[in-house]
Amino acid sequence: MALQDAQSNPAFVYRPETGEEIFHSLVGVPILRGGRVTGVLAVQNRTRRHYTEEEIETLETIAMVIAELIAGENLIGIDEHKEGGGYALLPVTLNGIRISGGIAVGKAIQHEKRAQVLTLVAEDPEEEKNRLNLAVGEMHRSIDEMLEAKEMVLGGEHREVLETYRLFAEDAGWLTRIKEAINTGLTAEAAVEKVRNDTQARFGKQTNPYFRERLHDFNDLANRLLQHLLGKNSVINREYLPDKFILFARNMGPAELLDYDRSQLSGLVLEGGSTTTHVAIVARALAIPVVGRVVGALDNIEQMDMVIIDGNEAKIHIRPTDDIYQAYTNKMAVWAQRNATYISTRDLPAETKDGIRIRLDINAGLPSDLDHLRQTGADGIGLYRTEISFMDSNKFPDVNRQADLYKRVIDGANGKPVVFRTMDIGGDKRVPYWNSEKDENPAMGWRAVRISLDKPTLMRHQMRALIRAAGERDLSLMFPMVTEVSEFDAALNLLNTELDRAKQKRKKLPNELSVGTMLEVPALAFQLPSLLKRTDFIAVGTNDLFQFFFASDRSNPDLANRYDPMSPAALSFLHDLVNTCLKANVPVSLCGEIAGEPLEAMALIGLGFRHLSMAPTSIGPVKSMVRSLSASDLEQHLESLTDFSELSMRRILRTFATNNSVMI
């Protein structure tokens, strides 16, 4: 804030005891540390004067020095003055939100604190830029090594996250701002710290949870770059860690998690976080239990405390009593037996006890995901997210590149069915080569089929590539985010145009073409009679559908457990939808997070769904549930229920599963 006459500002408040009536001009810059304002450096002058940009930059540099001095003094908080030095070392149980299921036991380890910048001012800006360029190169190589790790080679959504993270690391705007800060006289590491603080302050004002969560990735990158500048190895030394440990952090980026050895890391506890953060996606893919939004977690632990993390119930037990420890030890033994069961059923059909076959597919987004078909025994790919190839590229992939990719997917499926979803870019799925306007609400913005219809060349190129890739084999595709039947008709017309083009050029055509639509927008459900005359199948996308259904942003952690997809309203909606499709003899499937949860999947089968698509890690648990279930008994039980006044049907469904020995 730079004011020539502070007293004339509407926000000025006069305090006689300050004696500041003799001052007119004022300049103030924030003292930032970790994106938080810890104070203000202010200069007042008796004259009415204009403060130049150079003077403000000088004050910002001084404020950085003061911020480091404050941080280095280890100032004592009020809570630390309590008698006895704070918290007693007693058993503590804390609650949070479920981010990744599972149970683990280990010693508490606090995530390594960020690198400390000691040298702030430099004499030679060019030398600092050279240091920066070398450090950036080293950082890129270390991220590439992560991508080559065995956990990443198989692909999946967690690999997509790290590839997006790699694009962040190459962001030209970020590196340009760092170099501009170096030009003001800062060292390379001080410049990185300044840009990090500025970014944190700016992103901290964002109300959109998606953008606030992306800040964790930038924090991770900044710290990683600082470590390379300071000559410190970012990989954690496993010799100083216990054999099994639970990691505690306020927030993390995905690469920070991968710095830890997976054979030692048993669980993760976050004071922040939500189910959509990148670190959450990576943790779920690696089957690491995670509990987020645990208030006071870091204040309640000491290094090497014994901790139990229960990702299923979203609880952590710090310094647990013997009876709690024994109870969880027994529970983990049961889980080990269940995992052995999942492996043993890999090659068995997903068939209920009364002989009803349930098709279990996986969701995928990269050719490397095809390995999961063999590993899980899944029936096919119910949702192939084609947009990943658009996001994982520095330029728009042409028809040849797309066709090669889709052909690899069809070939790799070895005859198992694959359903391609046309590109769902836009909203919060940004591509690096497309400078689109930011949506106030990305989930309900300009995305998916809306972009494809506004830019028909993009969709025609993709359809041309899909037709070419299929050759004379079967091809199934579906359109995302369709809101009105007219949009489905328009997309189908573009497909027919490409089919006519292929005929004229005497190209090979698909042996059998199946065209469907995602049902993600509630409005489309009210047009089913018209839609079902046109479409070959419907895939219900519950992730988006239920956030629109409940008017609940699924990326907002405050609403993480607010609305239950097992509520009477949601189940009634799905039941009516399935019945309408079955009466019209149109196949209906469901792909969404609820399909991968055994209890929810059981409810879906009771409603009439016979085709579910889920994350690869969910195939085993859901198949075991299916093989222990009598679908007819469940359907009769649901039909007998008349009172739907409960907030959720979850308790009733769980009781049915327990009474009928269904593995949930």
DSSP strands (E only) in 532-653: 537-541, 588-591, 611-614
Count CA atoms within 13 Å of residue 93 on its CB side.
8
- pLDDT > 70 fraction of the chain, expressed in percent and rounded: 80
Helix (H) or strand (E) holding 264: none
Whether 332 and 309 have beta carbons less than 8 Å apart is answered as no
* DSSP letter string, 623-651: HHHHHT--HHHHHHHHHH-----SS-SHH
Confidence (pLDDT) at 208: 55
pLDDT confidence of 233, banded at 50, 70, 90?
low
Instruction: Return the CATH number of 2-75, one of 3.90.470.10, 3.30.365.10, 3.30.450.40, 3.40.710.10.
Output: 3.30.450.40
Percentages helix, strand, coil for the chain (3-state, rounded to 5) are 50, 15, 35
Rounded to whole angstroms, how far apart are CA atoms 315 and 178?
Answer: 41
Which distant-in-sequence residues (6+ apart) come within 8 Å of 263 by Cβ?
Answer: none
Residue with the two structure tokens 């953008």: 211
- pLDDT > 90 fraction of the chain, expressed in percent and rounded: 30
Confidence (pLDDT) at 81: 40
Rounded to whole angstroms, how far apart are CA atoms 590 and 603?
Answer: 12
Confidence (pLDDT) at 533: 94
Q: In this model, does residue 85 exceed pLDDT 50?
A: no
Q: What are phi and psi of 228, to 5 degrees?
A: -70, -40
- Of 322, 318, 319, whose CA–CA distance to 330 is shortest? 322
Confidence (pLDDT) at 80: 44
Instruction: Return the CATH number of 353-628, one of 3.20.20.60, 3.40.50.300, 3.40.50.720, 3.40.50.150.
Output: 3.20.20.60
Per-residue pLDDT, averaged over 575-582, amounts to 94
Q: In this model, does residue 569 exceed pLDDT 70?
A: yes
Q: In this model, does residue 381 exceed pLDDT 90?
A: yes
* DSSP letter string, 138-160: HHHHHHHHHHTSHHHHT-SHHHH
Instruction: Give Cα 398 distance to the centre of its chain.
Output: 28
Rounded to whole angstroms, how far apart are CA atoms 386 and 390?
Answer: 8
Name the least confident of 48-57, 135-144, 203-212, 550-559.
Answer: 203-212
590: amino acid identity, one letter = L
Per-residue pLDDT, averaged over 455-473, amounts to 90
Q: In this model, does residue 434 exceed pLDDT 80?
A: no
Given phi > 0 = left and psi -120 to 50 = alpha, else beta, which region is 274? beta
Was domain 92-112+236-338 assigned CATH 3.30.70.100?
no
pLDDT confidence of 631, banded at 50, 70, 90?
very high
Instruction: Name beta bridge partners: 538.
Output: 517, 588
Q: In this model, does residue 561 exceed pLDDT 70?
A: no
Per-residue pLDDT, averaged over 304-318, amounts to 89
pLDDT confidence of 560, banded at 50, 70, 90?
low
Whether 184 and 57 have beta carbons less than 8 Å apart is answered as yes
Rounded to whole angstroms, how far apart are CA atoms 175 and 173?
Answer: 6
Confidence (pLDDT) at 73: 52
Q: Which tokens sit at 78?
A: 């009020």
Given phi > 0 = left and psi -120 to 50 = alpha, else beta, which region is 541? beta
Q: In this model, does residue 154 exceed pLDDT 60?
A: no
Q: In this model, does residue 165 exceed pLDDT 80?
A: no
Classify domain 125-229 at the CATH superfamily level: PtsI, HPr-binding domain (1.10.274.10)
Domains in the chain: boundaries: 2-75, 92-112+236-338, 125-229, 353-628
Rounded to whole angstroms, how far apart are CA atoms 117 and 187?
Answer: 9
Instruction: Name beta bridge partners: 94.
Output: 316
Q: Reading across the β-sheet that carries 2-3, which strands appear in turn?
A: 2-3, 25-33, 36-45
Per-residue pLDDT, averaged over 345-367, amounts to 89
Q: In this model, does residue 619 exceed pLDDT 80?
A: yes
Confidence (pLDDT) at 608: 93
Which of the two residues, 165 and 137, has the higher pLDDT score?
137
Residue with the two structure tokens 């990443």: 152
Helical spans, DSSP H, in 43-187:
53-72, 125-147, 150-153, 157-169, 172-183
Whether 135 and 221 have beta carbons less than 8 Å apart is answered as no
Rounded to whole angstroms, how far apart are CA atoms 563 and 331?
Answer: 28
